[in-house]
Amino acid sequence: MKEQQLKANHIPGSLEEHLGETNVEIFVGTKYPYYNRKWKKSKGNKPSWNFAAFFLSMFWMGYRKMYMPVILMLTLFFVTDLVIYFLNDRQLTDSMVNATDSSITAGISIMLGLYGNYFYYIHTRKKINAIESEGLPDEQRKTKLRNQGQTSWLGVLFVVIGLLVYGFLSATLFPTADDKIAILKNGVSEEFPDKTIGEALDSYFSEPEWQLIRNENGEEIIRFTGTVESYPFSMDFVLEDEYFDIVNGEVDGVPIDSDELNDVLYSILQTEIQE
């Protein structure tokens, strides 16, 4: 029993030595000659290049029904976003997230290009061993090998759905500064529902800029800055659920209270609607 266990954990040059050529051929499918050649050449866990795994990454894994590694990789993306979000005091930027996710994606692609064949070898070995241990009749065994092995476009769809779910959860739970600014810019006033705040301010002022900052109390502030008739202007907003409040502002360095700023915004919206 101990000797058999050692054999099962050994990475042979030929998978068929322990699992049988017919089993492996049925499980892998039409690409069996390719993978068989790669496995023999690599003699175990040595790198052997796989272009499909490199370029298609998780989609290749889904196509080959390697679902658990796909789930682990999506979890890695999610946990990475979570860590970055809190390390940066919940103030992410799209560039920060995109740079990190792009680095991870590139790393995964290179890893799969080099070791994808080996990972598929491990997957194949485990699946065939599990099916063999059931002691099924010959035809049932072959059917199960085909069903659990070979390829599946549904597996590709599984990856697409997984990426969509990851993207939705990440955007919902870890909104970037750009996400929060977009919420405000897409907001409207009850009096002028046909013009968004972003459209009105960006059109009325020259050199418009939007920033997410924190005030001295640690509150998140969305600050709009621009110029009008060569005078610098700023307006600070606070987002609360689906509503916003104007809290501070300046014109040419002179502070303006929130009531005056609301009047200014009302006037700008009215002007932009009429044009």
User: Under a CB-based contact definition with an 8 Å cutoff, are residues 65 and 159 in contact?
Assistant: no
CB atoms under 10 Å from CB of 220, counted, come to 16
Query: Residue 91 has what pLDDT?
Result: 61
Amino acid 16: pLDDT: 53
Q: How large is the average pLDDT for residues 154-162?
A: 96
User: Residue 102: beta bridge partners?
Assistant: none
Q: In this structure, what is the dihedral angle of CA atoms 16, 18, 20, 25, given to the nearest 10 degrees?
A: -50
Contact criterion met (CB below 8 Å) for 239 and 220: yes
Element at 152 (helix H, strand E):
none
What integer pLDDT is reported at residue 188 of this predicted model? 85
Least confident of 42-46, 62-66, 79-83, 118-122: 42-46
Full 3-state SS string of 49-106: CCHHHHHHCHHHHHHCCCHHHHHHHHHHHHHHHHHHHHHCCCCECHHHHHHHHHHHHH
Q: How far is CA 73 from the centre of its chain?
A: 10
DSSP three-state, residue 50: coil
Residue 63 in contact with residue 123, Cβ under 8 Å?
Answer: no
DSSP 8-state code for residue 220: E
Q: Which stretch of 28-32, 75-79, 239-243 has the lowest confidence by average pLDDT? A: 239-243
pLDDT at 120: 94
The DSSP 8-state label assigned to residue 188 in this structure reads B
Question: What is the phi/psi pair of residue 91, to 5°?
Answer: -120, 85
- The secondary element (H helix, E strand) that includes residue 242 is none
Per-residue confidence band for 2, with pLDDT thresholds at 50, 70 and 90: very low
139-151 pLDDT per residue, tens: 999 999 999 999 9
Residues in the chain: 275
Tokens at 165, concatenated:
């779910």
Mean pLDDT of 51-71: 95
Whether 105 has a pLDDT exceeding 80, the answer reads yes
Task: Take residue 140 and report the two structure tokens written for it.
Answer: 């049932």
Structure-model confidence comparison of residues 224 and 213, the more confident one? 224
pLDDT tops 90 at residue 228: no
User: Where exactly are the structural domains of the chain?
Assistant: 2-175, 179-274
pLDDT in tens, 176-205: 888 888 888 998 888 888 889 999 999 999
Give residue 8's pLDDT.
40
Per-residue confidence band for 7, with pLDDT thresholds at 50, 70 and 90: very low
- 203-223 tens-digit pLDDT: 999 999 999 888 777 788 899
Q: How far apart are CA 244 and CA 224, in angstroms?
A: 13
Residue 36 pLDDT exceeds 60: yes
d(CA 35, CA 31): 6
- What is the torsion angle, in degrees rounded to the nearest 10, for the CA atoms of residue 22, residue 26, residue 28 and residue 31? 90
Query: How far apart are the C-alpha atoms of 27 and 273, rounded to whole Å?
Result: 65
The pLDDT score that the predictor gives to residue 23 is 87
pLDDT score of 128: 92
